[in-house]
Structure 1
């Protein structure tokens, strides 16, 4: 079967019109745009999200950070270790509970976060530039509504720390 035949019989056309497929492709596209804009910084969007959550001197434990960003424990552990190895965050023992390690952003982490913020805004602008201003606002509002509607029904909900 040629690719055109699959489109003609509707199987791929049906797939390409499914919300899950479109959301996955949109994620791939926005991730690629972010990677292009931050290429010289060598930072991922997940790392950037963690640095945003820790900016301004916030100190929280790893599990709370995971809940704020809707990440699973293993992903959070890997990303935190990477950020710590690069000198962007520190883990310190919580004086109130010696079993708990608190995460804080370092000056180097704050600097890379600020640089990535500028790059992230460029990637967001590129992603939304395909829409009119009103459509871009509606698109973001609808995505937010979708995420809010299903947030608590998945394994990694976003919750307050």
Structure 2
């Protein structure tokens, strides 16, 4: 079947539903674009988007429990556990017992983690700039504002 034949069949269905116009499809394509740009910027540092977000939040907060860090970075408990474990193994994040609640562990950046995240923040800005480059500054602000509304 040629592309033209497939397009003709799509047009003939005429039920008004085209997957290419749906939010999930478009968000997935936008995510794929942002992910490819992220990889291009961060490839030399062997860091994932979730690890980057975690390091940035620890930089901003100073320290946080794993549970709280998961909420701050929009990760479920299993995901944040794996992310923090890998960052600890790499020597970028340290743990210590919480003074108020000895059952709770607090996470913070090591000096190596601080040095790395300070070096990478500009790359994070570049990922956003390149991802949004096809649209105007006004559209960029509007898009980000709308995405914040639905999340």
TM-score strictly above 0.5: yes
Larger radius of gyration between Structure 1 and Structure 2: 2
Give yes or no for the alignment of 1:65 onto 2:69: yes
CA shift at 1:3, angstroms? 4.2
Who is 1:131 aligned against? 135
Who is 1:8 aligned against? 8
Give the Cα–Cα distance (whole angstroms) in 1 for the partners of residues 91 and 61 of structure 2.
Answer: 15
Give the Cα–Cα distance (whole angstroms) in 1 for the partners of residues 37 and 30 of structure 2.
Answer: 10
Give the Cα–Cα distance (whole angstroms) in 1 for the partners of residues 58 and 27 of structure 2.
Answer: 28
Deviation string 1:42-74 (CA, Å, 9 cap, x unpaired) is 111111111111115622110111111111111
Q: Tell me which of 35, 44, 54 is aligned to 2:39.
A: 35
CA shift at 1:143, angstroms? 1.4
- Structure 1: runs of 5 or more not aligned: 148-161
TM-score w.r.t. length of structure 1: 0.83
Aligned alpha-carbon RMSD (Å): 1.7
Give yes or no for the alignment of 1:111 onto 2:118: no
Give the Cα–Cα distance (whole angstroms) in 1 for the partners of residues 62 and 114 of structure 2.
Answer: 12
Give yes or no for the alignment of 1:95 onto 2:99: yes
Give the Cα–Cα distance (whole angstroms) in 2 for the partners of residues 20 and 64 of structure 1.
Answer: 28
Q: Tell me which of 137, 146, 150 is aligned to 1:146.
A: 150
Deviation string 1:75-121 (CA, Å, 9 cap, x unpaired) is 10100000001111001112222211110111111111112211111
- Structure 2: runs of 5 or more not aligned: none
CA shift at 1:141, angstroms? 1.4
Q: Which runs of 4+ in 1 moved over 6 A?
A: none
